[in-house]
Every structure is written in C-alpha cells, then in structure tokens.
Amino acid sequence: MTTYAAPVGAPEPVEDDVVSMKQRLSGIVQIVHQRPQDISKRRWESALVFFGFTGAYTWFGYWLVVQMHVVGFEPLDRLNRALMIWHNDPAKLSALGFDYPPLATLLISPLAIFPSVASSLAVVPVASAVFAGLTMMSLNTLARRCLVAAPLRYGVLIALALNPLVALYAASGARQFVWISFVVMAMGAVVAWYVTADVRFVMLAGLAYSIAALAGYTSILWFVLTAFMIGAILARLGARGPEVEGTTVGFSAPTVYVIALWTVFNLILLSHPFEWVTAARDAGGSGPGSFTGVELLQDTWWLVLYAAPLAIIALPALIFVGASRNNPLATWLGLLLAAAIVAPAGSVLLGLSDSPMQMRNALPILVFAVIGCLWLARSADGSNLIVSGVLIVLLLASIPWTFHWMKDYRYQNLEAPFAAAISTRQSQEGTTTVPGAKVGIADEQAMADYIKDNISEPNSILTDNSQTYAVMLLTGQPRLFFDRVDQSDGPWLAAAQDPAGVVDYMLMSTDTSQDLLSQMYPSATTGSDPRLSVVFSTDRYVLLTVPTTFDPTATTDQTITSSTDGSTEGAGQ
Amino acid sequence: MTATVNGARVRLTDGVAPELARLLPEGICRTFRVMPYAVVDGTVLVAVADADDPITLQVVEERIDRPVQLVRHTTNEITDAIETVYPAVEGQIESSEERRGRVQMARMLTNSGLVTNDQLQMAMLEYSRTGDPLGDILVAHEAISEDVLVAALSEMYQMQRVGLSDFVPDMEIARRLPEPLAQSFQAIPVAATDDLVLLAVARPLDPEQAVAVEEALGSPFRQLLANRTELDQLIQRVHSAHYVEVSTVALLEARPEDSAHVVFTGGQKALGVCLLVAVVVCGVVWPMQTLIGVVAACSVLYLLVSFYKFQLTFRALGTHLEIDVTDQEIADLDERTLPVYTILVPLYKEAGVVRRLVQGINDLDYPRTRLDVKLLCEEDDTETIEMIRSLQLPPHFHLVVVPDALPKTKPKACNYGLQIATGDFCVIFDAEDRPDPDQLKKAYLAFQHVAGNVACVQAKLNHFNQDQNLLTAWFANEYSMHFELILPAMGAAGSPIPLGGTSNHFITSVLRELGAWDPFNVTEDADLGIRLHREGYRTAMIDSTTLEEANPNVPNWLRQRSRWIKGYFQTWLVHMRSPGALLRETGPRGFTSFNLTMANAFVLLLNPIFWGLTTLYVLTQWGFIRELFPGFVFYAASAMLFIGNFVFVYLNVAGSLQRGEFGITRTALLSPLYWGLMSWAAWKGAIQLFTNPFYWEKTEHGLDSGAH
C-alpha cells in the first residue's frame, strides 16, 4: 500500500480510537477475508461418488431386502412413522415419537411422501443407501484434502464399501449411516478447517454435528470432543480468548440448541427432560444384558478385532505421529478413535443401550480409523502413496475376516443371516438370527395384503402401532388404523377398552409381551375370545372383528395403565 | 551509506545489469533521472544527472537496501538507459516542456522558501507515481495554499489573477458559458465588454478548450487565473437553480413510473381494496377457513423468505463470492492510470464530525489530486457549512450547498452533487464512515475484473462501535450476516441487490444515465440497486469494509430502521406497479429474488403476530389457535419456529465469525430479542407509509461512546 507522509504544516491529526479492520484482524489466527489455499471444488466428482455408491447400495439392498428378506424391523418402524407423518388421519408430526432420535426418522420422511413408494420394500435400502452415499462422498473430499491420489482414493472408498458390515448397514435401511454420514461430514469440515484455517469450516462442522446429534445420540460424544479439540488447537496456535471462545461458540451453538430443544420437548410432553437419553430404544433390540468389567474389556477387544481391525493399527499410529511430529490433529483424531472404541462399553456401563456391544457399534470405529489413516497419509508427506496403499490393503484384508466373524459373533442383529444370504444366495425368510429372532416379513406382507384387499374405512382398525408398524407400513394406508398416535394414548386406551362402535376391527400381535391390545385380549390372539372373531391371521398377527354388540365386561377385566411418557404397561388383575 | 563520484570505472554506457534494471520504479527513474546499473564490491552504482540534489540522494538511499554510490552521468545517457529499461508509453511520458515547468515551479517555491525540502520530496515522489502537476500535489497536501499556487502559475504563464471570494456575479454574463462547459473546463465569465469576455479559469485552457469556449461565448475572451475553490463555489452559485431542478424532478419527469413520488398507484389501490373486500367477505362467509387460509399464506411466505435467505447464506459460507482483488494487485497498480474519483458525502447537522471526515478521506490510499470530494450540505445547516469553510480545505474538497427545496432528502443532495461530479467513478460515504484505506483502488480494480455490465461495486459495511452496548453488537451481527453472506451470494447469483446506504461505487456516466437516486424514496439506495438491475446492469461485491457508527440508542435506532423498512415498502410498491415489466426485465430468478428480499419487511410485520399466537397457545392451550394450524400449515409453522428461527440466529453467528468478529459471537445468540425491535420498527414504518410517506427520519450520529 502506498503511504503518504504527513505534510509539514498540515493540521494536527484528529485523535481517533477506532480500530481499523486490518488492526482488528491482525491478531487473529484463523483466515478471515482471504481466499484460503484449498483444494478446488469438484462437484461432478462428489456427485459421481454420491450417486455411484447410493445406486450400488440401493441395488444391492434391493437384492438383500426384497429377494433375500434380510430386513430389520427398525427401518420398517421408522418408515411407518415417516408414513404417518404425511398420511395418517390426522397427519401428525408427533408420529416421530421419542424412542428414536427424531432426525433418524424425519430425514427419511421424504421417502414416505408417496404411500405406494413407502409401502414397497424397495424403499427400505434407499433409507440407508443415500446416507452411505453421503458418507462416501464426504470421505472422498476428505481424502482429496489429505492429498490422496485419485486411484488410491477410489481404492480406499471401494475397499471400505465392500466391507460386509458396512455393506449390510448401508443397504438394509438401518439408521446407523444416517448419523454417521453427518459425523463424517463434520469431521471432513474439521480437517478442512485445520488445513486451511478458514473459520467457515468450523461453522459447517457445527451444523453437520447438530444434525448428527438428533439422528444418533452417540454422535454427541464426538461433538463434545471436537469442541474441545477446536479450542485446544486454537489455543495452541496462540489465538486470544475471544477468538477461542467465539469459534467454539460458533461450532457448538447448533448442537447445543438442538439438544436443548429436544430436552425441552421431552420435559413438556413427557415430564422428563432426559427421557431421550434414558429411554432410547431400538425395534428389535436384544435387551440390556449384564456384563462385568472384564467382560466389557474382552468384548470391546473382540468387537474391534473382528469388525474394525484397522483401528488396532490406526490408533497407535495416530498417537505416535501426533506426539513425535507435533501434529495435534493426529493426536485428537486418535482420541476420537479411542472414544469410538470405548463408547459401546461406556454405554453399557451407563445403562444407555438396549442392544449392548452389538457388532454395528464397530461402524464408527471403522470410519474413524479410516479418517485417521487418511490424515496419516497427508502427514506422511513423501510417503503418502505408501500409507494410502497400506490402508487399501488393510481394508481389503479385513473383508473376509469380518465376513467370517459375522456368522457367529455373539452380539449381533442380522449379521449372520446377511452372511448366509451372501454365501448361499437363498432367501432367509423364516431363519433365525443368532439372538433367536425370526427373519423375514412374510407374515406382515400377508396381513397387509389382506387388509388392503378387504378394508377401506378410515380409522376402522384398532391397533398398537408400536408393534404392528410393519403391517401398517406395508398397507401404505395408515389412515385405516386407529393407532396410538391419532389422538394420543388416552382416547386410544378408551377405545381399546370399549371398541364397539368406535372401530370395526382389531389388529394385534400374537406376541403378548409388548402389544397392549394383545395384553388386554390375550385369548383373542389365539382366536379363543368368543366376543372377537378372527378374520385373518398369520403366525405373528391376528385381525379380529369387533361386533357392535361387543361387551367389554363380559369375559375380561384386564386393566391398562399408561404413563405419560408413551410407554405403556399392562397389569393383570 | 552513499557516496558520489564523477568518474567511476564502470559506466552506464557499459550496460545495465539485468537484476538492477527495475530496482527503482519507472516513475522514480524518470522524475529524478536516476538508473542503477552495476554492483561493484557490494555497492550499487546509480547513474544520476544531478548528483548534488539532496532529495535525489535521499530517495535513492531509501529505496535500495544496499550501499549506494551515485555516479554522475549526462542526462542523455540516463534517459537512454531509462528508455531501454522502461520503453515509453505514449501519453504517459512527461514532455520536456512539462519537465521544464515542473522544475521551474519547484525552484520558484523552494527559492522563495514556500516549501521545505521534505515537502518537495513528498510531492516529487507522488509526482513520480501519478504524474500529476507538482503544484496541485503540494496544494492537495496543504504544503502551500491554493492562492500561492495561483500566484506561481500566474507568474509562470504570465496571466492575470482574479479573486472571487467576495465576487458578486452578473448572472447574465456568468451564464453565457453553458453549464456543462463551465463545469468541465472549470471556467466562468466574470465580466464582459462588447468585444471581450473576461473568463475566470482554474488552469489555462488548452487550444481545443479555448475554441470551444469562444464558440459558446460568441466572442473573444481573456483568461484570468482563479483560486479553484472560489471558482467552484461561484459556478455552483450561478447554476444552483438548474442543479436543484435536475436533482428533484429529473427522474420524476424522465421515468415517472420509477419514482416513488406517488406511494400507491390507482391500480394498486384498486387491487388492495379488492383483496381486502374479498378477504372480509370470505371471512364472513367462511370465517375459520379464511383465517386458516391467511395463516397458511403467511406461513408459506415466511417459509419461502427464510429458505431463500438460508440458501444464499449457505452458498456464501461454502465459497468466497466477492470479486477478488489482492494486495499485490493494489501494490502493482500504476497510479498514472487512476481515474478521478468522486466522493459524495451528504452531511446534515454534522459539524462535529467534519474534521474527522476530512482526515479519513485524506487517509485514503488514492492520490489526492485525483479525488473530487463533494461535501453536500443543506442550505439551512449553517453550522456545518461554517465548520467546513473554517477548515480552508484544499481544492479536492468541494463544499456543495444544496439550496433549500423539498423534498429535503439525502438522495436529492446526492443528485445535486452528482451533477457537478468530475470523477469517472463515484462513491457515497456517510460523514462518520471509515472506509478501508485501499477501498477506492480495490473498487477501481474490481471494475476492471468484472463483466462490462457491472455498473456498481458495493463494499461491505460494518460498525466501529460494536462493543458499545448490546444494541450495537446486534447491529454488527446483522450487518455481518447481510454484507458477509447475503449480499455476496446475491451478487454472485446475479440477483438484484438492494444497495447499502454507503460505500457503493458507481460508474458515474451509468448512474447519470439511470437518473441517479429517487429523491422521493427514503431508501433510495435499495431502489437504485433494483433499477440498475432492471436496466441490465449488475452489482458486484468487494471484500473491503467501511466502518460506520452503529446506532447505540434505541429510539434513534427505531427512527433509522423504520425509515429503512418504509423505504423497502416504497421500493416494492414502485417496482411492482407493473409486475409483468419487472418479470420481463429481471427474469424469473431476479423477480423472485426481488420479491423475497422485499418480503422480509412483511415478515417483520408478521413476527409479533405469530409470536403472540405461540405464546398464547403455550399458556392457554386454546383450541382455536390449534385449529388455525391444521396439518401442513402446522408443519410449515413448526419448521419456522424451531428450525427457521435457529437458522437465522446461527446465520448471525456465522456472519460474525466469517468477519472475524469473534467477540460478538455470543450476542448473536440473543438476536431474537433484536428481531422484536425490528418488528417494532417495521410496524412504525408501515404506519408511516400511509401517514407520512416522504418523511425522512434523520438518524443522529456521534452517539458512540468515543464520540468520534
């Protein structure tokens, strides 16, 4: 900048305590008002990766779900809730419920705008494939920022995508990749921030974490650690207090807001602000189980060894590089990976999991290990190619290893049927999972088909939607059902106790352990309640008619009490 | 350490070492007739024509960070070497006659003790960069007065002088030279006989100008040198009636459809009444459905405005959308190519900030000799006028007294100043503004980088007193979001940009062609931005900031904001007089962007209603309110309540972070309280639109704690 000397004899300058922009920005560590040195945008490449992996997983998922019948009940439950948001009578946002993180359902709700699409099994894999595609797209950008050459980058993505655990959860509609995709997006932004010092990436990371937090509560753990990481790195770089505080506030605000909002909702609607933490559940959960400390350590080891062995190499490498090369991001990525490893055991200790030590808990471990290795590749400078190559080899080597252990790993969901379907190419309908659950949806489909063909009156079928969601979904017509969401639990219970004149039918599960209607009318589930005649039944469900002459006091005096939190208990007298 | 020798072993005629050839800039070489050409034992040998000149010695010494030895050479030897290293560009090289004049002026002033060596060195250096007349540079830097310069010029050119400070012109004679010629040549007839006109001129006219003047006067004339400031004041006085008329009615007469002199057209009134009647009739026949319809329409509007804003800001977060001008480009700028830049500064009752304003403008990194600063004062504001006069400012500052006439608005004052602007580019600054020193150069370079249809470059605005209180911090949060995220994204998308109140740089000719500002619109800047777009021009953003004073006082803030919002309503009504024409001229994207941007003012009106309904419902669970929000209306309203509101809070955070204002990040989290104030101002503005549409709510400045 050219400067002009003050002329001799010029008037005295006016005193001015205004701090100019240049002065204000001079003490700032991060890049502001400058174009940072960063990778160029390649939208076409991102789009290609996204659509490529989404398409591949959708295609694979269609084979897995529709032909092999390897389908979990959790995605069906969420899809039914999504369907109820749009097409219930009345349409209600409260169909989201409180037992799943709300965004895990809300984010897939666009898939349910058209009932015929939602009721088709083909939409199930899309519910996870889209997010798996997003994950791969974010990893690709992250790898580009880590200077991994294109062939190696694609090698890493393909090797990771072929991992059987990844493939199962990316293609079966499960919700894990919903939140993982946003965590990876956030981590990609954090790495970009570290590389470019551009504060905008902190904000993008904060926004991504806020979505992740309400799509999977586990991500809050990494959010908290990342907040500390940002503050610590800035302080280490010599940033002043306001910069550290402002940046951390900018990062944290979205996530803190969504958590606070959700807590307030819980307080207002369930009278318990932290119900979302303590009562989270999963359709098809295996139950909390009990573990000793040693067992938890052992199970953590097996989990990492069988499902994410890459972490065993990545963790010490990150810590070593962080300490020896003055590379704070490597250290922090190591800490984030360590948190992913101990998180499953931690949730057991805190009593926060209804499906402890599940194999799917290795997914974030695997993803964080890959992120860590990509950063190691960037940190390796001249050895970038070698590190990337080794990463691909390790990922490829773990494919048969993990596939083998999926067949009989103790804590699992659909891993064994998945492995069986891959090995035998035969439908898994009717087989059982390792924990003993029956695989398949033939019963649900048969019941749904019957209802679609024979019933058209809205709100004519009384049902406990928390147990019959799969049938409701497959009909594609939630308006046919008088469910617990329609008018909340109070009116529903009243109708359940005296259904005559309110509904024409009752749909209940033959399993009386969870279904409120089955608990109220246990004999009806076997067709032996004289007041209710069976119209149609399958092994899992029974549809009964409710005559206008139905006498609620005639043979049963079951009483149901409902708590305000939406969980309901049956108490026989 | 520097030594001077007459006969070194290595001579310039042996050739110039390539690494030394451009050690000194061309301007320095030509002005001081120097050329570094060899290194001997670590000492740089510099060929010099006048080895005894202490100024040359100091200039060379300061620019070469090695020991220097001055070696006397002939002028021809040095000139040849300079021509080899810096081939001459026609029109940019000082002629020998000009050089003689410069040297004569320098000698005259130094010999008479009117300038010191330091002042002369400063002026010579600036001359080496700009090539502007040495005398003008000395006057612009207040080393000598204009009267001294006029005396020196009169001596040099052997011309008579004329004093105009107390001159009472004969208007008939004074107006014999048409206003455009008077303005562009800075000349005015001051007396006349039957066969001769005495013409006061700022500088001797060149032959072409002289011919044009003689033709216009219809008789021979004699030139009298005058003080530029006095001459300028005289020209203004003589032609003030014309300037007032043009500044008030030019747009109204040329493009009545673009003028806000009428708030509602007949068609708009009819449409409004029809709509109202339809709603009332529906309300009577189907009360609940009508209310639901109104709520649904409002919710959809809310959702669209919010989504649009979010989309813009998210885009801006993802990339840098301002026109890129680097520090290096600014450093490399050849100042000889810089155009004259007009700075319009409207002032009203702001005598207290004039001194600071003058210093701020003098601090700009732009040759003062190429500045044309118009200090626009209202005739009744004698205090400010007297303050400016008392400072005896150099001639690049022009006091412009706008005669008292309605409407008494800032845009009218700017229109007045624009008519006498001499710059190729012009910019508006408010009196309390602190532009980045390199802003003019950045804007000039930006104009060179952008497409030919960009007629305006908007710099960013923010506040210097953001830490004063919560209100100023919120204001800074809001400006950060608006100028760091929203406007850059709108500029990059080619959408019509409602210009900020100051720091908008224009191509002067385009601005004049468009009819400049609408004096009847109280947000003339926003209106002009839309008009530019409709005419096919575009606005770009630059990454340069002007710091303003944020209003720290709630009543004062409400006055300012209500005026802005009233102006937005006015602007919307003006441009929607013919929606079809607007759609045709701006395209679907521009049309949508314009409406969604202006709809923001309507959303501010709706805010308290929706907040009230929500609060009432939470407190009473009133079923009537629930019925107003059935199904999808409820979803839209809920999305806005829980997601939209937070997104906007966070965009305030993001804007402040993007700007590097980390200290006010946390206050952004409280911005919903600020929205309450905005809604208050919106209602005030909306009511005033009907009761007092052209009233200009003046904002009081100088309320910051530092009272700058």
Query: Cα–chain-centroid distance for residue A263?
Result: 19
The whole-number average pLDDT for the span A307-329 is 93
Is 50 exceeded by the pLDDT of residue A7? no
Shortest distance, CA B123 to any CA of chain A (angstroms): 9
| Res A100: pLDDT | 85
Shortest distance, CA A134 to any CA of chain B (angstroms): 17
SS (H, E, C) A166-224: HHHHHHCCCCHHHHHHHHHHHHHHHHHHHHHCECHHHHHHHHHHHHHHHHCCCHHHHHH
CB B601 within 8 A of CB B572: yes
A567: number of Cβ within 10 Å: 15
Hey, what amino acid is at B243? Y
Residue positions counted in chain A: 573
- Alpha helix stretches (DSSP H) within A240-361: 241-270, 275-278, 293-307, 310-324, 328-349
Task: Give the least confident one: A184-188, A288-292, A294-298, A400-404.
Answer: A288-292
In a domain, A448, yes or no: yes
Residues A183, A286 within the same domain: yes
Pairing of strands B341-347, B371-378: parallel
| Res B445: pLDDT | 96
Kind and range of the H or E run holding A390: helix A384-406
| Res B702: pLDDT | 65
Q: Which two tokens stand for residue B175?
A: 């107006």
Is 90 exceeded by the pLDDT of residue B282? yes
On average, the pLDDT of chain B sits at 88
How far are the Cα atoms of A205, A330, A332, A368 from residue A322, in angstroms, in the given order? 22, 5, 8, 16
The whole-number average pLDDT for the span B678-689 is 93
Residues B308, B336 within the same domain: no
The whole-number average pLDDT for the span B363-392 is 93
**Is the Cβ pair B547, A21 closer than 8 Å?**
yes
Q: Residue-wise over A29-46: b if at least 16 C-beta within 10 A, else e?
A: bbbbbbebeeeeeeeebb
Is 60 exceeded by the pLDDT of residue B559? yes
pLDDT digits (tens, 9 = 90+) for A11-29: 455 555 666 667 777 778 8
Q: Is B63 on the interface with A (CB under 8 A)?
A: no
Structure-token match 């307080």, residue found: A267
Tell me the chain A residues in contact with residue B359 when contact means C-beta distances shorter than 8 Å.
Answer: 13-14, 16
Interface of A with B in 141-200 (CB under 8 A): 199-200
Residues A410, A468 within the same domain: no
| Res B705: pLDDT | 55
With cut-offs at 50, 70 and 90, classify the pLDDT of residue B707. Answer: very low
Q: What is the rounded distance in angstroms from the CA atom of residue B576 to the CA atom of residue A332?
A: 56
ipTM > 0.85, yes or no: no
**Is the Cβ pair A2, B631 closer than 8 Å?**
no
A244: number of Cβ within 10 Å: 19
Tell me if residue B413 falls in helix, strand or coil.
helix
Q: Is B627 on the interface with A (CB under 8 A)?
A: no
Closest residue of chain B to A2, computed from CA coordinates: B365
Of the residues A379, A402, A417, the one at which a domain ends: A417
| Res A35: pLDDT | 66
Q: Which two tokens stand for residue B506?
A: 């224009």
**Is the Cβ pair A4, B126 closer than 8 Å?**
yes
In a domain, A106, yes or no: no
In a domain, A487, yes or no: yes
Kind and range of the H or E run holding B198: strand B197-201
Tell me the chain B residues in contact with residue A35 when contact means C-beta distances shorter than 8 Å.
Answer: 320, 324
Q: Is B434 on the interface with A (CB under 8 A)?
A: yes
Interface of B with A in 348-387 (CB under 8 A): 355-356, 359, 362, 365, 368
- The DSSP code for A41 is P
CATH number at residue B337: 3.90.550.10
- Alpha helix stretches (DSSP H) within A62-199: 73-87, 102-106, 115-118, 123-145, 150-161, 164-171, 176-196
Residues A485, A560 within the same domain: yes
CATH number at residue B198: 3.30.300.160
Task: Give the least confident one: A96-100, B131-135, B463-467.
Answer: A96-100
Is 80 exceeded by the pLDDT of residue B430? yes
Kind and range of the H or E run holding B684: helix B671-691
In a domain, A38, yes or no: no
Q: Which of B122, B355, B547 sits opposite A5 (nearest CB)?
A: B122
Residues B544, B579 within the same domain: yes
Residues A282, A400 within the same domain: yes
In a domain, B443, yes or no: no
Q: What is the rounded distance in angstroms from the CA atom of residue A194 to the CA atom of residue A105?
A: 33
With cut-offs at 50, 70 and 90, classify the pLDDT of residue B189. Answer: very high
Residues A413, A447 within the same domain: no
Tell me if residue A69 falls in helix, strand or coil.
coil
Q: Which two tokens stand for residue A269?
A: 């609607």
Is 90 exceeded by the pLDDT of residue B8? no
**Is the Cβ pair B642, A202 closer than 8 Å?**
no
**Is the Cβ pair A17, B706 closer than 8 Å?**
yes
The whole-number average pLDDT for the span B609-635 is 83
Is 80 exceeded by the pLDDT of residue B363? yes
Shortest distance, CA B9 to any CA of chain A (angstroms): 37
On average, the pLDDT of chain A sits at 86
Is 60 exceeded by the pLDDT of residue A571? no
Residues 6+ apart with CB under 8 A from A5: B118, B122
In a domain, B252, yes or no: no
Q: What is the rounded distance in angstroms from the CA atom of residue A506 to the CA atom of residue A465?
A: 11
Is 80 exceeded by the pLDDT of residue B666? yes
CB A248 within 8 A of CB A255: no
Q: Is B631 on the interface with A (CB under 8 A)?
A: yes
The whole-number average pLDDT for the span B510-516 is 91
**Is the Cβ pair B660, A249 closer than 8 Å?**
no
Interface of B with A in 390-429 (CB under 8 A): 391
Tell me if residue B10 falls in helix, strand or coil.
coil
Residues A258, A394 within the same domain: yes
| Res A555: pLDDT | 56
In a domain, A431, yes or no: no
∠ CA B404-B409-B415, rounded to 5°: 85
Tell me if residue A272 falls in helix, strand or coil.
coil
With cut-offs at 50, 70 and 90, classify the pLDDT of residue B708. Answer: very low
Shortest distance, CA A419 to any CA of chain B (angstroms): 41
**Is the Cβ pair A1, B335 closer than 8 Å?**
no
Q: Which of A32, A93, A203 sits opposite B659 (nearest CB)?
A: A32
Q: What is the rounded distance in angstroms from the CA atom of residue B291 to the CA atom of residue B306?
A: 22
CB A494 within 8 A of CB A486: no
Is 90 exceeded by the pLDDT of residue B322? no
**Is the Cβ pair B464, A245 closer than 8 Å?**
no
Residues A53, A183 within the same domain: yes
Tell me the chain B residues in contact with residue A17 when contact means C-beta distances shorter than 8 Å.
Answer: 706, 708
Interface of B with A in 211-240 (CB under 8 A): none
CB B188 within 8 A of CB B200: yes
Residues A409, A456 within the same domain: no
Q: Is A254 on the interface with B (CB under 8 A)?
A: yes
Tell me if residue A561 falls in helix, strand or coil.
strand
pLDDT digits (tens, 9 = 90+) for A261-282: 889 888 877 788 888 877 666 5
Is 60 exceeded by the pLDDT of residue B3? no
In a domain, B708, yes or no: yes
**Is the Cβ pair B141, A246 closer than 8 Å?**
no
**Mutation to test the B interface, candidates A193, A203, A244, A268, most B Cβ within 10 Å:** A203
The whole-number average pLDDT for the span A541-556 is 81
| Res A286: pLDDT | 54
Residues B418, B486 within the same domain: no
Residues B299, B372 within the same domain: no
Q: Is A24 on the interface with B (CB under 8 A)?
A: yes
The whole-number average pLDDT for the span B351-360 is 90
In a domain, B192, yes or no: yes
Is 50 exceeded by the pLDDT of residue A158? yes
With cut-offs at 50, 70 and 90, classify the pLDDT of residue A289. Answer: low
| Res B60: pLDDT | 86
Q: Is A18 on the interface with B (CB under 8 A)?
A: yes
Q: Residue-wise over B470-479: b if at least 16 C-beta within 10 A, else e?
A: ebbbbbbbbb
Residues B417, B501 within the same domain: no
Share of chain A above pLDDT 90, in %: 56
Q: Is A571 on the interface with B (CB under 8 A)?
A: no
The whole-number average pLDDT for the span A398-421 is 91
DSSP per-residue letters across B528-560: HHHHHHHTT-EEEEEEEEEEE----SHHHHHHH
Is 90 exceeded by the pLDDT of residue B706? no
Residues A404, A272 within the same domain: yes
Give B163 or B674, the one with higher predicted confidence.
B674
pLDDT digits (tens, 9 = 90+) for A369-406: 999 999 999 999 888 899 999 999 999 999 999 999 99
Residues B215, B308 within the same domain: no
Q: What is the rounded distance in angstroms from the CA atom of residue B654 to the CA atom of residue A246?
A: 10
Of the residues A368, A402, A417, the one at which a domain ends: A417
| Res A567: pLDDT | 36
Of the residues B157, B173, B204, the one at which a domain ends: B157
**Is the Cβ pair B663, A246 closer than 8 Å?**
yes
**Mutation to test the B interface, candidates A1, A4, A230, A244, most B Cβ within 10 Å:** A4
Residues B492, B399 within the same domain: no
How far are the Cα atoms of A7, A282, B391, B689 from residue B123, in angstroms, in the given order? 9, 80, 22, 53
Q: Which two tokens stand for residue B56?
A: 């040359």
Shortest distance, CA A360 to any CA of chain B (angstroms): 31
In a domain, A96, yes or no: no
Share of chain B above pLDDT 70, in %: 97
Tell me the chain B residues in contact with residue A204 when contact means C-beta distances shorter than 8 Å.
Answer: 317-318
Q: Is A250 on the interface with B (CB under 8 A)?
A: yes
Structure-token match 């006015």, residue found: B570
A124: number of Cβ within 10 Å: 30
Q: What is the rounded distance in angstroms from the CA atom of residue A522 to the CA atom of residue A519?
A: 5
**Is the Cβ pair B653, A261 closer than 8 Å?**
no
Of the residues B398, B433, B468, the one at which a domain ends: B433
The conformational region for residue A373 under phi > 0 = left, psi -120 to 50 = alpha, else beta, is alpha
Is 60 exceeded by the pLDDT of residue B1? no
Whether omega for the bond prior to residue B407 falls within 30 degrees of 0, making it cis, is yes
Q: What is the rounded distance in angstroms from the CA atom of residue A33 to the CA atom of residue B661?
A: 11
Residues A465, A399 within the same domain: no
The whole-number average pLDDT for the span B317-336 is 84
Interface of A with B in 436-475 (CB under 8 A): none
Radius of gyration of chain B (CA): 30
Tell me the chain B residues in contact with residue A249 when contact means C-beta distances shorter than 8 Å.
Answer: 653, 665-666, 669
Shortest distance, CA A178 to any CA of chain B (angstroms): 19
Give chain A's domain count: 2
**Is the Cβ pair A253, B632 closer than 8 Å?**
no
Is 70 exceeded by the pLDDT of residue A330? yes
In a domain, A436, yes or no: no
Residues B178, B79 within the same domain: no
With cut-offs at 50, 70 and 90, classify the pLDDT of residue A120. Answer: confident
| Res B704: pLDDT | 64
Is 50 exceeded by the pLDDT of residue A565? no
Share of chain B above pLDDT 90, in %: 38
Shortest distance, CA A472 to any CA of chain B (angstroms): 20
Residue positions counted in chain B: 708
In a domain, B118, yes or no: yes
CB pairs A-B closer than 8 Å:
136
**Is the Cβ pair B545, A21 closer than 8 Å?**
yes
DSSP per-residue letters across A223-268: HHHHHHHHHHHHHHTT--HHHHHHHHHHHHHHHHHHHHHHHHHHHH
Q: Which of B317, B634, B662 sits opposite A246 (nearest CB)?
A: B662
Give A141 or B129, the one with higher predicted confidence.
A141
Q: Is B311 on the interface with A (CB under 8 A)?
A: no
DSSP per-residue letters across B586-637: HHHHHHHHHHHHHHHHHHHHHHHHHHHHHHHHHHH--HHHHHHS-HHHHHHH
B211 burial via Cβ count (<10 Å: 0-12, 13-18, 19+)? exposed
Give chain B's domain count: 5
Is 80 exceeded by the pLDDT of residue A473? yes
Residues B300, B332 within the same domain: no
Tell me if residue A356 falls in helix, strand or coil.
coil
**Mutation to test the B interface, candidates A14, A28, A109, A230, most B Cβ within 10 Å:** A14
Residues A511, A399 within the same domain: no
**Is the Cβ pair B665, A18 closer than 8 Å?**
no
Residues B314, B372 within the same domain: no
Q: Is A15 on the interface with B (CB under 8 A)?
A: no
Domain range enclosing B368 = 324-433
Closest residue of chain B to A89, computed from CA coordinates: B631
Residues paired with residue B40 on neighbouring β-strands, in sequence order: B43
CB B390 within 8 A of CB B397: no
How would you list the strands of the sheet with B43-48, edge to edge?
Answer: B2-5, B68-72, B43-48, B34-40
Interface of A with B in 315-354 (CB under 8 A): none
Domain range enclosing A522 = 442-571
Residues B546, B422 within the same domain: no
Is 60 exceeded by the pLDDT of residue B167? yes
Q: Which two tokens stand for residue B216?
A: 């216009």
How far are the Cα atoms of A186, B678, B704 from residue B471, in angstroms, in the given order? 33, 11, 12
Q: Which of B317, B320, B662 sits opposite A247 (nearest CB)?
A: B662
Residues A57, A206 within the same domain: yes
CB A469 within 8 A of CB A449: no
Q: Is A264 on the interface with B (CB under 8 A)?
A: no
Residues B454, B384 within the same domain: no
Is 50 exceeded by the pLDDT of residue A560? no
Q: Which of A127, A159, A116 is nearest to A374 (CA)?
A: A159
Is 70 exceeded by the pLDDT of residue A3? no
How would you list the strands of the sheet with A481-482, edge to edge?
Answer: A481-482, A461-463, A505-509, A541-545, A533-537
Is 70 exceeded by the pLDDT of residue A8? no
